[in-house]
Structure 1
Amino acid sequence: MPREAIALSIPDLSDFARRLGRDLEAADPRPGHLSLLNMIARAAGFRNYQHLRSGAARSLPTPPEPPVPSDPKKLAQASRLFDAGGRMIRWPKKTSIQALCVWALWARLPARQDMTEAEVNRAAEAFHLFGDRALLRRSLIDHGLAERARDGSTYRRIERQPPPEARDLIRALAERQ
């Protein structure tokens, strides 16, 4: 059975070493494996190793990940598909560019609100010039950016964090409007 990796964040290494040293001095014979694990957990501020494993360590804040830079080539390809008013002129052939363009439509849909198909159609009509709002509705669903009721009566935008290229495209199109 593979072992579970347990992340341990130690904000004050000096205090950790002091506490661990005290526990090691108090141990009469050399501590065994489990005793040593308990000492490490206590020095890190947990009751024992089981408390550390229970997920308490996972609740500690993790440092933020560095921002991922956007791909300027992808962004340029997607930007060429929009007119000066920020409306989509034509549907791209490449799936990755399609996904990027659908994010721009996603950004124009209201957050955390149920919409009828007619409301989604109005948003799609204002977004594009090539006359295929059904393609745009399906693409929102296919790319996981919206969900629709089984009977197709309501749509809802799925709240997600856009990738870097999508954020940059949304920002560039907002400036054009």
Structure 2
Amino acid sequence: MSSALYPAFRLPNVEFLRKQAKDRRKLLLAGDPETLDWYRRAGSADAAPSLQKVQHLIAVDCGFQSWSELLRHTAPVIWPPELHSFVGADGRLKAWPVKRSRQLMFLELVAGRIKPGMVYTESRFNAILNCYHSFNDPALLRRDLLELGLIARNADGSDYRRH
């Protein structure tokens, strides 16, 4: 990932991200030095950046390939009632359930939100997984998703994808 705007495990909600994109664009248009530096470091030099361009750069800073992908993974999750006691105030799973049936509910829910056919590097895949849990163990989740056949990866472990 690039110099991340947010640690992957502390992504803000959708409304905050939308407001921030608008605010950053305003700062760019006003010539704010710090915001211009961020924009140039991202490889952009447009004189009048569009809101879509700023949104894309924020998504990349957060470890995603596009704004729509970022929104998909920061949108509120409707958790099954069996998992409610495991969900923290931030809307993410705060502890790994002991019961395998509850683990499977969680893994199937997460796998269902991953776009089929899209290829992710390990760091981007971790960023996605971290949107759904706060106990900071994406490796545990990757292993389970792989063992269940919910995702696939290259033999060298470099790329992940949902079938």
TM-score of the aligned structures, taking structure 2 as reference length: 0.48
Who wins on radius of gyration, i.e. which is larger? 1
TM-score of the aligned structures, taking structure 1 as reference length: 0.44
* Relative contact order, higher structure (CA 8 A, sep 6+): 2
